[in-house]
Amino acid sequence: MNHKLKTLTTAATGAVALVVMSVTPSQADTAHIYKNRHTGLCLAGKDRTVSQYDCSLAGTSSPRTGWTTSVVDPRYGFAMIRHEATGLCLDTNGSSVYLSGCSDQDLGQVWTFGSDGAMSPVAFGTRLTGWNDGGVSVRPAGDVDVVNKQKWDAV
């Protein structure tokens, strides 16, 4: 009888540990500023427009650079990226990048993060690209003159 109770207690403790371990900090909403490795500018948004902006000058009247990343599928590292000032999500139609109402059913809003700094929309197999003029688009991997235009650091 004691052996059964001990086995049940051990199993329950393991289940609790499993539940606690399944919620990791990487799965929680995380605030970030994304800085392009080539331009040195930060991903920014204002109204529905996405651009890059000087990271140190993003005040109330200029494009804001704060983003919240929320994991929507931890198995694959899929996440949505919400612009903190507007509450809208980073979205793409395969070429343009813009802000729109958040929906995890919109695959243009679901992104992956490569270990090399690439940010890619799940639906298109492209990479978020920062341009010298402050513009932002998505392009196929390597389809740029400088590879670091497609690499971003969370700062």
Compute the mean pLDDT over every residue in the chain, rounded to the nearest whole number. 82
CA distance 81 to 88: 9
Q: What is the DSSP secondary structure assignment for residue 52, as one 8-state letter? A: E
> What's residue 61's pLDDT?
54
Q: Which residues of 2-40 are buried (b: 16+ CB within 10 A; e: fewer)?
A: eeeeeeeeeeeeeeeeeeeeeeeeeeeeeebbbbbbbbe
Strand partners, 79: 71, 111
Work out the percent of the chain whose per-residue pLDDT is above 70: 77
Is residue 124 classed exposed, middle or buried when 0-12, 13-18 and 19+ CB atoms within 10 A define those classes? middle
> What's residue 59's pLDDT?
54
What are the φ and ψ backbone dihedral angles of 107, each rounded to 5 degrees?
-65, -15
> What's residue 31's pLDDT?
86
29 token code pair? 């909403």
CA distance 94 to 67: 21
- Per-residue pLDDT at 28 exceeds 80: no
Lowest mean pLDDT among 50-54, 59-63, 87-91, 117-121: 59-63
Lowest mean pLDDT among 53-67, 78-92, 134-148: 53-67
Domain ranges for the chain, please list them. 25-154
Mean pLDDT of 127-150: 96
Q: Does domain 25-154 have CATH number 2.115.10.20?
A: no
Is residue 59 classed exposed, middle or buried when 0-12, 13-18 and 19+ CB atoms within 10 A define those classes? exposed
0.95 exceeded by the pTM?
Answer: no
Per-residue pLDDT tens digits for 72-123: 998 988 999 999 989 999 999 998 999 999 998 999 999 999 999 999 999 9
